[in-house]
Amino acid sequence: MPDARAERPTDPSAGGPLAGVRVIELAGIGPAPFGCMMLADMGADVVRVDRASAAGDPGAVDRALNRGRRSIAVDLKRPEGVEVVLRLTDGADVLVEGFRPGVAERLGVGPDVVRGRNPRLVYARMTGWGQEGPYAQAPGHDLNYLALSGLLHAIGRADRPVAPLNVVADFGGGGALLATGVLGALLERTRSGVGQTVDVAMVDGAGQLATAIHGMRHEGYWEDEREANLLDGGAHFYDVYATGDGRFVSVAAVEPQFYALLLRGMGIDPAELGDQDDRSRWPAGSARFAEVFATRTRDEWCAILEPLGACFAPVLTLDEAPHHAHAVARGGFVDVDGHAVPAPAPRYDRTPLTAGAAPVPVGADTDATLAAAGFAPDEVARLREVGAVA
């Protein structure tokens, strides 16, 4: 797979669609780093402001999400450290922070202060519950945001919701929405000439991802219970089944023509299962599908069903996915820091995205970044002396 460890171009005319955009990221965890990773993949010059106390700590660097940006180590509890961040944002396009509401203001780097100095700045705030409301100051994680949005209730088997991976609210409803919000604000700035504050909440994003489900509910096509609907495992033709070797396959033959192809490949007479849309027959269909899929291995089913185009795919493990023929053909994974990771997306034909270099140690770029921002050598030495940077 392609090696993505080469240095990122610094020429604004090169790189992805955000080449020339400067982003200051106040270090956090989860969705904010993911959103900033997306911006860096798109060519933005992202400087991560890490905690000075983390300098030299290899465990402080998220090897998966912190690729493609520089790191400076700053103590925001010192006024000199706050001034460092403010001077950096004076020449930036975007600032991203993931503190609880009010923390940035108490530190002296809230939107009123920062945008008062640089009115063109886009100030992006990433939280779980948003900047206001009864839960605004409450702690939480992906599962909690899914729960309050109503989406968790719809995920799982009939007897209980299940805890999905933290990709729905954290990274889809959080980090990806953060990147989208920043892009929208940057585009609007080309018309107005000024930036704005973007309030990104994971609970909002999780709810937004369920818009289509709410639509089906309002139209009478979705029952407010699990495993009773077309897309939640209720339908036998939209589910996951175990194969004879203990692996799994997925089928999603919603349309009649694909359903017919699936039944043909499985060797099932359509008359045996009756009308595809008769929900009363779905449980019996699920039992029959489970019986048939258990008669062959996963790869045997791939050989039978893939050529038919029956809305079928094998369930691959995380180790298998980078090596599948489709991923290989599209360059779906790249090498970063010696590990296969999903390639940047989406794909642009003129300004292709590049997965940035492997994460650097905390504070590795402090001197160079401050020098580029106009700090004199004696200023940097003084900042080190008082512990404002590391």
Q: Domains, the chain, ranges and CATH? A: 22-209+332-386 (3.40.50.10540), 238-323 (3.30.1540.10)
In this prediction, residue 229 carries a pLDDT of 96
Cα 121 to Cα 360: distance, rounded to the nearest angstrom = 26
For all residues of the chain together, what is the average pLDDT? 94
What is the SS3 assignment for 383?
A: helix
DSSP at 56 = T
Cα 53 to Cα 281: distance, rounded to the nearest angstrom = 62
CB 308 within 8 A of CB 261: yes
Residue 159 annotated as catalytic: no
Cα 127 to Cα 125: distance, rounded to the nearest angstrom = 7
Cα 26 to Cα 94: distance, rounded to the nearest angstrom = 11
Name the catalytic one among 3, 141, 245, 339: 141
pLDDT, one tens digit per residue, over 216-234 is 999 999 999 999 999 999 9
In this prediction, residue 1 carries a pLDDT of 59
Q: Model confidence at 5, in pLDDT bands (50, 70, 90)?
A: very low
Name the catalytic one among 41, 50, 170, 239: 170
Residue 141 annotated as catalytic: yes
**174 contacts: CB under 8 Å, gap ≥ 6:** 30, 31, 32, 34, 35, 126, 128, 200, 202, 205
Cα 143 to Cα 150: distance, rounded to the nearest angstrom = 11
Burial of 281 (0-12, 13-18, 19+ CB in 10 A): middle
pLDDT, one tens digit per residue, over 257-291 is 999 999 999 999 999 999 999 999 999 999 999 99
pLDDT, one tens digit per residue, over 286-331 is 999 999 999 999 999 999 999 999 999 999 999 999 999 999 999 9
In this prediction, residue 70 carries a pLDDT of 96
Q: What are phi and psi of 157, to 5 degrees?
A: -90, 175
pLDDT, one tens digit per residue, over 117-144 is 999 999 999 999 999 999 999 999 999 9
Cα 42 to Cα 295: distance, rounded to the nearest angstrom = 46
In this prediction, residue 144 carries a pLDDT of 97
Cα 142 to Cα 201: distance, rounded to the nearest angstrom = 11
Element (H, E) at 71: strand 70-74
pLDDT, one tens digit per residue, over 57-78 is 878 888 889 999 999 999 999 9
Q: Which tokens sit at 43?
A: 């060519």
Q: Which tokens sit at 384?
A: 């080190």
How far is residue 82 CA from its own chain's centroid?
29
- Could you give the percent of the chain with pLDDT greater than 90? 92
Task: Give the type of residue at 358.
Answer: A
pLDDT, one tens digit per residue, over 177-187 is 999 999 999 99
